[in-house]
Amino acid sequence: MSSVYFHIGKYFLLMVSTFTKPEKRKIYWKLIIQEVDKIGLQSLGIVALLSLFMGAVVTLQTAANIDSGWIPRWTIGFTTRQTMILEFSSTIVCLILSGKVGGNIASEIGTMRITEQIDAMEIMGINSASYLILPKIVAALFIFPFMVILSMFIGISAGAFVGLTTGVVSLNDFEYGLQYSFELWQVSYSLIKTFFFAFIITSVSAYHGFYTNGGPREVGASSTRAVVYSMVLILVANYILTQLLLL
């Protein structure tokens, strides 16, 4: 148990270093833009693919389960919207991204650690934590919300497309369902969660990479640990935030 406190303490100390005394501003802009590309744009494909199929499947599932005449057909559009906006586009997409982005961050920083590249920065007098970690956190906080909104669009559009082409729902019904008791707050709730998830993925993965000790095998282990810890923390944060924001 004491090792849990040890890690939490070490994590917070690393975050303090990360957010203090960054080096030249100009250099940070360049790094942030690079990271937006690496952790954002290069993950667009997987996010789009995932959202496409999830939106389609949720629509078909709902259609298949409302055979009884008591439940109106517009429920299909309603359910697709609620699923995508409230949970899928934020939580599930971020869980998947923690595998891709988190694993990448941990192995990149871990490799720099074991090949002494981090020591080389430190010896120059550079705050390596800030240089390596801050741009990743800022980039993720900036780009993840866009990816989540994109996921909502793709998922709902895919649902509509599948619903109409298979004939399980009419355009009118689907549209009515989409608009039924819709509040913008639901999107905000999802985006607030996304900010937390983005921070968890980048900072926790960076932590595991930064304190890698040993050789290539340990980099692999750090990468795995980064993904597992990010995922567990996302699940816990999702629960806590939902309770705080929706109740």
Partner 1 sequence: MIEVKNISKSFAGHQVLNNVSAEFHPGKVNFIIGRSGSGKSVLTKCIVGLMEVDQGEIFFDNRNFTTLDRWDRKDIRQEMGMLFQGSALFSSLNVEENILFPLQMFSSMSKSEMLDRVNVCLKRVNLEGKNKLYPSELSGGMQKRTGIARAIAMNPRYLFCDEPNSGLDPQTAIVIDNLIREITYEFKSTTVVISHDMNSVLETGDHINFIYQGELSWRGNKHEILHSENEALNNFVFPSKFMQQIREKLRG
170 binds partner 1 (CB under 8 A): no
Q: HSE of 176 in the Cβ direction (CA atoms, 13 Å)? A: 9
Q: Angle at Cα 192 formed by Cα 147 and Cα 161, nearest 5°?
A: 40
175 binds partner 1 (CB under 8 A): no
The nearest distance, CB 108 to partner 1, in angstroms, is: 9
Please count the other Cβ atoms lying within 10 Å of the Cβ belonging to residue 51.
27
Which residues are within 8 A (CB) of 16 and not within 5 positions of it... i.e. 6 or more apart? none
Q: Are 49 and 149 in contact (CB under 8 A)?
A: no
The nearest distance, CB 27 to partner 1, in angstroms, is: 6
| Cα 231 from chain centroid (whole Å) | 10
Query: Which of 87, 122, 175, 218 is the binder for partner 1 (CB under 8 A)?
Result: 122
116 binds partner 1 (CB under 8 A): yes
Binding segment toward partner 1, per CB under 8 A, in 77-85, 109-117, 196-204, 205-213: 109-117
- How far, in Å, CA of 148 to CA of 6, rounded? 34
49 binds partner 1 (CB under 8 A): no
217 binds partner 1 (CB under 8 A): no
Which residues are within 8 A (CB) of 49 and not within 5 positions of it... i.e. 6 or more apart? none
Query: Which of 7, 48, 92, 111 is the binder for partner 1 (CB under 8 A)?
Result: 111
The nearest distance, CB 130 to partner 1, in angstroms, is: 12
Residue 61, classified by CB atoms within 10 Å of its CB into exposed (0-12), middle (13-18) or buried (19+), is middle
The interface with partner 1 within residues 12-31 (CB under 8 A) comprises 21, 23-24, 27
Closer CB to partner 1, residue 85 or residue 206? 206
The nearest distance, CB 119 to partner 1, in angstroms, is: 5
Interface residue list for partner 1 (CB under 8 A): 21, 23-24, 27, 111-112, 115-117, 119-120, 122-126
